[in-house]
A = this chain, B = another copy of it.
Amino acid sequence: MSAAAVPLYEKVKHHVLKRIRSGEWQPGARVHSEHELVRELNVSRMTANRAIRELVSSGVLSRIAGSGTFVADLRSAGHPLQIRNIATEIAERGHVHRAEVLKLERLVPPEAVRARLKLRGRQAFHSLVVHYENDVPLQLEDRYVDPAVAPGYLDVDFLKVTSHQYLMAVAPLERVEHVVKAVVPPASVAPLLGLGAGEAALLIERTTFSRGRRASFALLYHAGSRFELAGVFDL
């Protein structure tokens, strides 16, 4: 197998994304037109068009017919619920964040997790951390990390840095997938969040991607009575 296998339109997307990620093209800036991309990359206009159209569809760019294509302002990209660092969120409320590390280990993860991470090796790093807001447990973070992506994960001091912060630092975040559910937490989880029997929990399943690979899968449990997600859409 030679170099190809990557479709041309993906190369065009990458060509554009590279400049946005590097900061060369800031939000609001004009992106090269389809014609320019055709000349720069020696592709047909339909190929450039597909690449740009997909970036528009994913909210990275926006277009105005007759005018041009622009880097989207990410906050207005229609994010209903924000991806936030729990430590930052607590700090913004003027409260004190504290983390307690219950587990930090290398193990063979459950099959469901293996499937989500599409692990190449057998083992993964695993951390189990409780985040407190003013000494009240707010989130239980049950996270699995691909060792190939973050080999130093077991040496991180999670009292000072959240795992999310660490992963962002060692591996550029490309994509995040979320699933939000309401569940009655398993018996192993409820007491860690100070939940009585039968109380509901908000579960966020978060998969992060870096360099085209799945980097981590996290189960984030929150006390239903103390946590909510807020979102605003304008327009």
Chain A residue total in the interface (Cβ 8 A): 44
CA distance A46 to B230 in the complex (A): 31
For chain A residues 150-209, which have a beta carbon within 8 Å of chain B?
A: 174-184, 198-203
Is B200 touching A232 in the complex (CB atoms < 8 A)? no
A45 contacts chain B at the CB level, 8 A cutoff: no
A77 contacts chain B at the CB level, 8 A cutoff: yes
CA distance A96 to B233 in the complex (A): 28
Is B83 touching A83 in the complex (CB atoms < 8 A)? no
A128 contacts chain B at the CB level, 8 A cutoff: no
CA distance A92 to B181 in the complex (A): 20
| Interface-side segment among A28-36, A52-60, A98-106, A136-144 | A52-60
Is B177 touching A79 in the complex (CB atoms < 8 A)? no
Considering only CB atoms, which chain B residue lies closest to A78 in the complex? Answer: B82
* Interface set of A (CB-CB < 8 Å, partner B): 17, 20-21, 46, 57-60, 74, 77-83, 174-184, 198-203, 222, 224, 227-235
Of listed A79, A175, A179, residue having the most chain B CB within 10 A: A179
Is B234 touching A175 in the complex (CB atoms < 8 A)? yes
Is B179 touching A182 in the complex (CB atoms < 8 A)? no
Copies in the complex: 2
What are 17 residue pairs bridging A and B, where the CB atoms are less than 8 Å apart in the complex? A21-B235, A60-B235, A77-B179, A80-B231, A81-B229, A176-B232, A177-B232, A178-B230, A178-B232, A181-B182, A181-B224, A181-B227, A181-B228, A182-B201, A183-B200, A198-B198, A200-B200
Is A229 touching B183 in the complex (CB atoms < 8 A)? no
Considering only CB atoms, which chain B residue lies closest to A231 in the complex? Answer: B178
Of listed A21, A180, A227, residue having the most chain B CB within 10 A: A180
Which residues on the B side are within 8 Å of A184 (C-beta)?
A: 198-200, 224
Smallest CB–CB gap between A221 and chain B, Å?
Answer: 10
Is A182 touching B202 in the complex (CB atoms < 8 A)? yes
CA distance A181 to B225 in the complex (A): 8
**From B21, B77, B234, contact of A58 by CB (8 A):** B234
